[in-house]
Amino acid sequence: MKKKILIVGGVAGGASAAARLRRNSEEDEIIMFERGPHVSFSNCALPYHLSGVIDSPNRLVLMSPEKFISQYNIKARVNNEVIAIDRENNTVDVRDLVSGEVYKETYDKLILSPGAHPIVPNISGIENVKIFTIRNVVDIDKLNRYLKEIESNDVAVIGGGYIGVEAAENLREAGFNVSLIEATKQILKPFDYDMVQILHKELYDNGVNLIVGDKVESFEKDIVVLSSGKKIKASAVVMAIGVAPEVKLAKEAGIQLGETGAIKVDKNYKTNDDDIYAVGDAIEVYNSLTNSMTKLSLAGPAQKAARSVADNINNKSTINKGYIGSSAIKVFNYNGASTGLNESLIKALNMNINYDIVNVILNDKVGIMPEASPMHFKMLYEVPTGRILGAQAIGKGDVTKRIDIIATVIKFNGTVEDLKDLELCYAPPFSTAKDVVNYVGYVGSNLLNNDFKQVNIDKVRELVESNAFIIDVREKREYENGHIKNSTNIPLSELRNRTNEIPKDVPVYLHCRTGQRSYNATLALQNLGFTNVYNITGSFLGLSFYEYYNDKTMNRESIVTEYNFK
Amino acid sequence: MKKKILIVGGVAGGASAAARLRRNSEEDEIIMFERGPHVSFSNCALPYHLSGVIDSPNRLVLMSPEKFISQYNIKARVNNEVIAIDRENNTVDVRDLVSGEVYKETYDKLILSPGAHPIVPNISGIENVKIFTIRNVVDIDKLNRYLKEIESNDVAVIGGGYIGVEAAENLREAGFNVSLIEATKQILKPFDYDMVQILHKELYDNGVNLIVGDKVESFEKDIVVLSSGKKIKASAVVMAIGVAPEVKLAKEAGIQLGETGAIKVDKNYKTNDDDIYAVGDAIEVYNSLTNSMTKLSLAGPAQKAARSVADNINNKSTINKGYIGSSAIKVFNYNGASTGLNESLIKALNMNINYDIVNVILNDKVGIMPEASPMHFKMLYEVPTGRILGAQAIGKGDVTKRIDIIATVIKFNGTVEDLKDLELCYAPPFSTAKDVVNYVGYVGSNLLNNDFKQVNIDKVRELVESNAFIIDVREKREYENGHIKNSTNIPLSELRNRTNEIPKDVPVYLHCRTGQRSYNATLALQNLGFTNVYNITGSFLGLSFYEYYNDKTMNRESIVTEYNFK
């Protein structure tokens, strides 16, 4: 039977649903309403227009309404806003934003994919600055044109989420003086505080004026005033503190919202109305690791949900196992990726879960190959089961590969033992024979078996301040090029002959450059009868990254004589 | 209790076992014998010395005997060859290759990691050419020095396996006239014939004189004579037709060999002697997909086995789930990776398994980002379960990421449904919102549900020759820039208005550039009542790659008016 299906919103979720609906049925009438002038554009690529990586804003638009009709027989009505839903009569009111005319359309099924809008809080003095947000092609084009016209080079980005950081990076690449202002103590919440310091440093090193832990208090004429009293010049202010799901239309029609304030849907993305579905940034989804509802503003899940809806409408079976959340970002020369749980989330949700971490730095490919570089990797696993809970990786190389593998293992409820067993593709240009992913499996397995103990780099400052006994097992030459203050240098190559210099009555903390030599040293000392030995995960390289940005910006004393980032 | 452990062979397997043994126990005596002058070098990186990517041969050596003793208290005796095992008395005879002296060492446990040696068949006239093999640092240094000394630029590489292809590529990069000779009709057996054509083309395009399906018959003075009568000038001949496990020592000591001729081991890599283990290229392992024993000359599995042995010797539990085999290779501007089963292997082993394939070409990252490029992807899955059996990917971008994910899914016995559900990291510089891996899950699922039918690009020549009805659904402008001879151009955008031009009484074959538009066209026609419609997987882009090399080298008529590789 021929159905008439209306779709509110023509970007990721809406366009995917429409295309799948057409493939499922040639006879159905499909109308997609988009209040903006473009359907099917790449939201995620928007910031890259600011640096010129994507030169023309037109390139951001992937499909035109003309193509939708000619190739898919889908009516894509741009500049048409659905303003009301009459659930009783299965109709919607649509306003043609060009003519101003309001008309009705009937539906058999209605799919809501309205997205989420950038939050612009009513901060005092907001009329004194030029505010921009980044949601669509019009927004980014407007921002870009404005910046080209003005003489000043000063731009402030408020909010250190993905969009904020990408905007800051691309504006900096375009030559602007960019301030990136984040109210909490770190940017990019998918990364833990210890990991994200690498990206703090990268922004800082690339000349972005990164300010964390400071809030926008008010605005003066082309100036952002922070809680600390700092004043930041800004001829343009990009507001990127977060997004709020577009629920007005749904709410007014009596569609039920969930605990998060987003639209509540069932396993098939159906709302409390049997004829109305919802997908994308406007809905809440089930996080299968936290066992709670969450808003997940990601393109992949939106497209997956859209496809499910199109299939459900056509009586095809679909599966919904919930979400774990995987994401990635490029920040100048570094790539970052994360999946599943991290420590801050576990703490924020007060989750009752016993976990431990693996924190390692390993070469992303064979060390002697050009462009081999250290990858910082942190993984969380459940104790005592070894079940993988989440992971984060940051480095100049292929971090998404490793996090994708972990994300895959999480979907299968895999454990650290499973990581050990993975057979990954190896050739010197791509990886190492024992990949980072295998390696973290080994470390996790050793930790679970209580083969050794560790402390994380975020505890080292405390150790130094309390005069703990720290042994640097690198060679003398390495030690002389920068080391932890008051640490003792006993190279691994001399360790077995110098055990008499190591106390047995106090804890001993070992490190090297990346943690591998000190791991060997830790086991050697344990086997030689030292019972209170800890390997410092992340070691000197990790510590240098961890301390650097805060040292530089907080004017505090460094705990190392010199940093080492190699 | 203190144990004395001897290890035969100091490269991947041996060195890994030694290091893990030391971490497991500080008191054990560990002696590693290596008949060559180096322990712990990177075998896989050897070919990269030929192009200068790795400049000095010394850089290939990762650890010196001095470091082994100082850092690990492991005695690494280079230039020492174990020549006999006395299993009755738990001793070995060792020849010091420098002094010539033979001495005995006792052992509690013995680990054999002797590797495999390149096969050099006794071809008639072999004394007329300068033969080289590539197994260790000495070999590659010798070859490199020889090539620098001679005036001629002509080098032949015999054998198109990984080492042969990498040697050919690196020699070509160094400026030599390289002939790569492979007796069978294709190089690189981990790839199917349809996929490997991309790499045949890449070698051809980069000036390697690739000869497939022609065998070395004999040698004349600096000339390789082939079965076809062709004569190839070669002042140096690199023999890379394959390797044979080093089993002489084991065999003479009565250690049991397996059906493949390699050393037979149990789940813990123990031989038929309770005190003797074996790992690496000298053993056979269980392939969990073919359910048969196989020789797997890969560094990752060797290291994994070595670690298992070290743990088993120290009474730690280990798991051995068998192997699936994952590998990767760079060939000039293309990267290739594969895991699990491929069609040729299934046929070669005469496996009784019902499978189908997914063959797609998709962008490796958002198409509008710089360096986005098409990835050719082929996956095999079991019918009707959807269980993933294997996959191959070739492209300029990140193919190992996708194959690693598939390898991970295979380890968990995952299906095409699982691929659909994977949440992979997405940002425009890295991938697309719906990654290639998700997409092949969708296609596989559609095929399993009989939503559409397909034929592979390797059938198109036959279709053309039998005057099948082929519809090219690309736009007119694309069609005019090269198309399949005698194909009919009905652009997707005109399809619904031109169905009267399409016969209902014969099979109809559809294609576009990569298969996505023709997939939509296929479903549209089906929904419009055409029952005999096939999507040509790989479409015009795949076909261009598939036909090109053979067209050029076999002097046959092309089935396309012009190739298109973009």
Query: Measured between CB atoms, which of A72, A493, A520 is closest to B23?
Result: A520
- Give the nearest partner residue to B26 out of A366, A425, A528, using CB atoms: A528
CB distance B512 to B492 below 8 Å: yes
Q: Report residue A259: phi and psi, to 5°.
A: -65, -25
8 Å CB contact between A105 and A94: yes
A430-485: pLDDT as tens digits:
999 999 999 999 999 999 999 999 999 999 999 999 999 999 999 999 999 999 99
Give the distance from residue A494's alpha carbon to the nearest chain B alpha carbon, in angstroms: 7
* Long-range contacts formed by B471-475: CB under 8 A, 24+ apart: B471/B502, B471/B508, B471/B509, B471/B510, B471/B511, B471/B518, B471/B521, B472/B511, B472/B512, B472/B540, B473/B510, B473/B511, B473/B512, B473/B517, B473/B518, B473/B521, B474/B512, B474/B513, B474/B517, B474/B540
**Interatomic CA distance for residues A171 and A144, integer angstroms:** 9
- Taking contacts as CB-CB distances below 8 angstroms, the residues of chain B near A15 are none
pLDDT of residue B469: 98
The reported pLDDT for the residue numbered B517 is 96
Cβ contact (<8 Å) for A426 and B300?
yes
Per-residue pLDDT at A74 exceeds 90: yes
Q: Is B355 left (phi over 0), alpha (psi -120 to 50) or beta?
A: beta
- Residue B293's DSSP bridge partners are B286
| Region B65-87 average pLDDT | 97
- Long-range residue pairs from B304-307, CB within 8 A, at least 24 positions apart, any chain: B304/A420, B304/A421, B304/A434, B304/A438, B305/B13, B305/B269, B305/B279, B305/B280, B306/B12, B306/B13, B306/B14, B306/B15, B306/B16, B306/B17, B306/B20, B306/B111, B306/B113, B306/B279, B306/B280, B307/A442, B307/B16, B307/B17, B307/B20
Predicted ipTM beyond 0.95: yes
In chain A, which among 49-78 make CB contacts under 8 A with chain B?
53-54, 59-60, 62, 67, 70-73
Query: In this predicted structure, what is the pLDDT of residue A60?
Result: 96
- What is the rounded CA–CA span in Å between residue A180 and residue B429? 21
Tell me the average pLDDT of chain B: 97
Asked if B425 and A418 come within 8 Å (Cβ–Cβ), the reply is no
Do strands B177-182 and B292-294 pair parallel, antiparallel, or not at all (unpaired)?
unpaired
Give the pairing type, strands B453-456 and B388-395: unpaired
Tell me the chain B residues in contact with residue A335 when contact means C-beta distances shorter than 8 Å. 429-430
Vertex A355 angle, CA A352 and A360, to 5°? 150
- Give the A:B interface size as CB pairs under 8 Å: 258
The DSSP annotation for B488-535 comes to EE--HHHHTT-GGGS-SSS-EEEE-SSSHHHHHHHHHHHHTT--SEEE
Which residues of B are less than 8 Å from A339 in CB distance?
423, 425
| Cβ atoms within 10 Å, residue B505 | 6
Picking from B326, B329, B400, the nearest residue to A401 by CB comes out as B400
Distance CA A414, CA A385 (A): 10
**What pLDDT, in 10s, does the model give residues B288-327?**
999 999 999 999 999 999 999 999 999 998 999 999 999 9
Quick: pLDDT tens for A17-59.
999 999 999 999 999 999 999 999 999 999 999 999 999 999 9
Q: What is the pLDDT, as a whole number, of residue A555?
A: 87
8 A C-beta contact, residue A113 and residue A302: yes
Residues of A in contact with B300 (CB under 8 A): 423-424, 426, 433-435, 438
CA A357 – CA A343 distance, rounded (Å): 9
Q: Is the pLDDT of residue A122 over 90?
A: yes
Cross-strand partners of B107: none
DSSP symbol at A282: G
Report residue A378: phi and psi, to 5°: -130, 130
**Interchain contact, A337 vs B425, CB within 8 Å:** yes
Instruction: Give the closest residue to A82 by CA, choosing from A96, A94, A99, A97.
Output: A94
Whole-angstrom Cα distance, residue B335 to residue A271?
45
Mean pLDDT of B225-229: 98
Structure tokens at B535: 């999507």
Residue A323 has pLDDT above 90, yes or no: yes
Q: What is the DSSP string of A430-483?
A: T--SS-HHHHHHHHHHHHHTTS-EEEEGGGHHHHHHTT-EEEE-S-HHHHHT--
Which 308-327 residues of chain B touch chain A by CB within 8 A?
Answer: 316, 319, 321, 323-327
Is it the case that residue B500 has pLDDT exceeding 90? yes
A512 is catalytic: no
Rounded CA separation A22/A38 (Å): 20
Under an 8 A CB cutoff, do A493 and B71 touch? yes
Is it the case that residue B521 has pLDDT exceeding 90?
yes
Nearest-neighbour CA in chain B from A58: distance (Å): 11
* Among A323, A335, A368, beta carbon nearest to B60: A368
Mean pLDDT of chain A: 97
CB contact under 8 A, A299 and B433: yes
Per-state percent for chain A, helix, strand, coil, to nearest 5: 30, 25, 40
Q: What single letter denotes the amino acid at residue A307?
A: R
**Taking CB atoms and an 8 Å limit, are A300 and B434 in contact across chains?**
yes
pLDDT at B12 exceeding the cut of 90: no
Q: Does B503 touch chain A (CB under 8 A)?
A: no
Position A519 pLDDT exceeds 90: yes
Distances from the Cα of B16 to the Cαs of A301, A362, B19, in angstroms? 41, 16, 5
CA B363 to mean position of chain CA atoms: 22
Q: What is the pLDDT of residue A48?
A: 98
Per-residue pLDDT band at A12 (split at 50, 70, 90)? confident
Residues 6+ apart with CB under 8 A from B408: A405, A408, A409, A422, A424
Say yes or no to pLDDT of A401 above 90.
yes
Reported as a single tens digit per residue, the pLDDT across B23-63 is 999 999 999 999 999 999 999 999 999 999 999 999 999 99
- Give B144-174 pLDDT, tens digit per residue: 999 999 999 999 999 999 999 999 999 999 9
Q: Which residue has the tokens 């309403």?
A: A33
| C-beta atoms of B328 and A366 within 8 A | no
B434: which chain A residues are within 8 Å (Cβ-Cβ)?
300, 303-304
H or E element, residue B301: helix B299-313
Neighbours of A517 (CB within 10 A): 22
Cα separations in angstroms, A187 against A165, A245, B319? 8, 21, 41
Edge-to-edge strand order for the sheet containing A355-363? A326-331, A334-340, A388-395, A374-382, A355-363
Write down all domains in chain A, each with its CATH number in brackets: 4-115+244-314 (3.50.50.60), 130-241 (3.50.50.60), 333-449 (3.50.50.60), 454-554 (3.40.250.10)
Residue A486 has pLDDT above 90, yes or no: yes
Q: Which of A24, A44, A128, A213 is catalytic?
A: A44
| HEC assignment per residue over A532-562 | CEEEEECHHHHHHHHHHHHHHHHCCCCCECC
Partner B contacted by A527 (CB < 8 A): yes
CB count, 10 Å around CB of B320?
18
- Catalytic member of B24, B25, B37, B44: B44
Q: Are B407 and A400 a contacting pair at CB < 8 A?
A: no
List, for residues A154-208, the tens digit of each pLDDT value: 999 999 999 999 999 999 999 999 999 999 999 999 999 999 999 999 999 999 9
Residue A301 CB partners (closer than 8 Å, separation 6+): A285, A323, B423
Please give the average per-residue pLDDT across A351-355, as a whole number. 96
CA of A329 vs chain B CAs: smallest distance (Å): 6
What CA–CA distances, in Å, run from A394 to A225, A335, A430, B122? 32, 6, 16, 52
The two structure tokens encoding residue A110: 């209605």
State yes or no: pLDDT of A399 exceeds 90: yes
Nearest to B411 among A26, A404, A421 (CB): A421
Q: Which residues of A touch B420 (CB under 8 A)?
A: 304, 319
A44 vs B: CB within 8 A = yes
Residue A1 has what pLDDT?
85
| Neighbour order of strands in the sheet with B216-220 | B216-220, B223-226, B231-233
Q: Which of A45, A418, A431 sits opposite B428 (nearest CB)?
A: A45
> Would you say residue A124 has pLDDT above 90?
yes
pLDDT digits (tens, 9 = 90+) for A534-555: 999 999 999 999 999 999 999 8
Helix or strand (DSSP H, E) at B411: helix B399-411
User: If DSSP codes are grouped into helix, strand and coil, which group holds residue B546?
Assistant: helix
Residues A404, B409: C-beta atoms closer than 8 Å: no
* CB-based contact, A95 to chain B, within 8 Å: no
Q: Which residues of B touch A409 (CB under 8 A)?
A: 408, 412
Which of A423, A440, A493 to mutate against chain B (most B CBs within 10 Å)?
A423
pLDDT at B555: 87
